[in-house]
Amino acid sequence: AIRMTQSPSSFSASTGDRVFITCRASQDIGSYLAWYQQKPGKAPKLLIYAASTLQSGVPSRFSGSGSGTDFTLTISCLQSEDFATYYCQQYYNYPFTFGPATKVDIK
């Protein structure tokens, strides 16, 4: 199975900050990467797929980049509603695998 890693595992930030979350795959997955946001007690929400395509309805302050094995989720101007946990996920092949998560909390 393809192993996904994320960094950092957690960090604190302030509203208005530009933040970066990185994700690495254990092998080349092309652009078959998605990002999800999850808030406590809620189901995950799709943010980005195909590494850089914004899901409909997701604010444009979210963006994704990368291909192959290294990917980045960028939030250009952190808003209060963005404090949450973020997961990357590869869908290059089965089993689909998720990263271990990055938790963003308030500084």
Partner 1 sequence: EVQLVESGGGLVQPGGSLRLSCAASGFSFSSYHMNWVRQAPGQGLEWVSYISSSSLTIYYADSVKGRFTISRDNAENSLYLQMDSPRDEDTAMYYCARDRSSGWPGVFDIWGQGALVTVAS
By the criterion CB under 8 A, which residues form the site for partner 1?
1, 32, 34, 36, 38, 43-46, 49-50, 55, 87, 89-91, 94-101
Smallest separation (angstroms) from partner 1 to the CB of 98? 4
Minimum distance, C-beta of residue 48 to partner 1, in the bound complex (Å)? 10
| Smallest distance, partner 1 to C-beta of residue 56, A | 9
CB 71 within 8 A of CB 88: yes
CA angle 33, 52, 63 (to 5 degrees): 115
The whole-angstrom separation of Cα 106 and Cα 56 is 26
